[in-house]
Amino acid sequence: MLEILTRGFRDVKQYLQGMRTLTEENLGEALKMIRVSLLEADVEFQVTRSFLERVKEQAIGEIVQVRVKHKDRKLSVSPGDHFIRLCHDELVRLMGPEDSGLNLKSRPSSVMMVGLQGSGKTTTAAKLARYLAKNGKKPLLVAADIYRPAAVDQLKKLGSDLGIPVYFRENMSPPELCRGALDEIQSYGCDVAIFDTAGRLTIDEALMDELQAIQEVAAPQNVLLVCDAMIGQESVNIARAFNEKIRLTGFILTKLDGDARGGAAISIKEATGVPIKFVGMGEAMDRLEEFRPDGLASRILGFGDIVGLVKDFEEVVDEKKAEEDAKRMLSGNFTLTDFLNQIKTIKKLGPLQDVLEKLPFFPKGIPDDAKVDDYELVRMESIINSMTPAERRNPQIVDASRVRRIARGSGREEREVLELLRKFNDMRGFLSAMGGGPVSGKWKKRIKGLRRIFGGGLGDLMTGEDEAVGPDNPFGLPPVKKGKQVSKKLLEKQRKKSKQARRDRKKTKKK
């Protein structure tokens, strides 16, 4: 997401590293690099020029000293840090201020969704309905797109999945549908109508006339343009055309998670004066986020978005239950059922790549070896679901025959089952150590290192022994000689013994 912009600003910071001051010369070179990056990202030309002029105006003449550590000298930031801070503030100003609120004071209220075909208007209408329902409103979806094949059916299906009513009447024009929905909204027990209007492949007079007619008869308090973030500065032209005809109150940018450039997000508010209200970050119904200029600016500059990540966690995590689970895990009572619940929670946060991008640990971009496969969570979930309740509570009982059965039941290979058990036992050992429980094997050295880092703040973690589960028995597979790690050879040996035992039993029965 936004890789082109992030790479450009990262290159500028590296260029300014080691320089003692911002001069006309190095500032000019830095601005030139930023200009190339912005234009590559398809930021509108006038917006690019305005951005560079304001950054230059703030930066010129300032003397920025290199950071020092002497107690008698004043600490200051490096030129690169200072320049990036100026860029961050200006990006926030370009895209902000933060304004995700909708005008829902009147009863009933209404929101008209407009946009071109293919921008994700119908799906976004359903996402917005879910968002409003979660925030205490009672939305009614209105199927006012009577031209696109299956548009009404699509909205009805989305509404059914979300438990939100959909209004539609045969043989009525879009303006009549919107007016009728407002007249009947109380009979549905709703207080907000969301009009899913028709789109066109291009802007034409017929489209605008119909939208103006809806405005006249339904008088929506909110008119939101749904715009595809991946079309770059063309979104600015579309936004201007709509705003001239129907007075927009906000934008919803869709497909921002798949946009490597980010030109639309930076340009559209500055060019039109209309705020961005929400951004679509995926296809799932819960992937509509309130737009935060500061968060997006931080991600563009490679600083992550911790505030946004915390909000995501608050959306999917029950705080009280999470606290109870944490206490139990740190006490050493961590089971595969808990592990499965954690996997489900992580999946609710969205794509793992998106979660990593919100962490401030990758200013140079996420390295290839740190990139994750979302399907890995699906594989682990299928393996755990193929276990019995007893096996989830006590993985130590999982022997070679059980590994074979679990692998068949989940459609995975035996080595994948063993790998999951290894990861689980490593995690359980670490959590137990962090909670002050018994520590053994490799965790002694690791916890000692953590104690040195945190100054003993982890408590007394070096007491007790626990050899039953740990690195000497990473899979919990009895029978195993103490101190030896389970290998493929041992599993094969156990498998042959099991086969031989079955043959012997069959021979005994025949006799």
Residue ranges of the binding site for GTP: 115-122, 196-200, 254-257
How far is Cα of residue 410 from the mean position of the Cα atoms in its chain? Answer: 28
Packing angle of the helix pair 414-434, 488-510 (nearest 10 deg): 120
What dihedral do alpha carbons 19, 21, 24, 26 form, nearest 10°?
A: 10
Look at strands 109-114 and 192-197 and give their pairing: parallel
In the three-class reduction of DSSP (H, G, I as helix; E, B as strand; rest coil), residue 119 is classed as coil
Paired strand residues for 143: 196
Residues recorded for the chain: 511
In the three-class reduction of DSSP (H, G, I as helix; E, B as strand; rest coil), residue 402 is classed as helix
Please give the Cα distance from 90 to 112 (Å, whole number): 31
Q: Is 52 exposed, middle or buried (0-12, 13-18, 19+ CB in 10 A)?
A: middle
* Closest to 226 measured CA to CA, from 103, 119, 123: 119
Contact 153, 222 (CB under 8 A): no
- For residue 98, give both structure tokens: 């933060």
Q: Which residues are annotated as part of the binding site?
A: 115-122, 196-200, 254-257
| Percent of residues in the chain assigned helix, strand, coil, to nearest 5 | 55, 10, 35
Please give the Cα distance from 353 to 245 (Å, whole number): 39
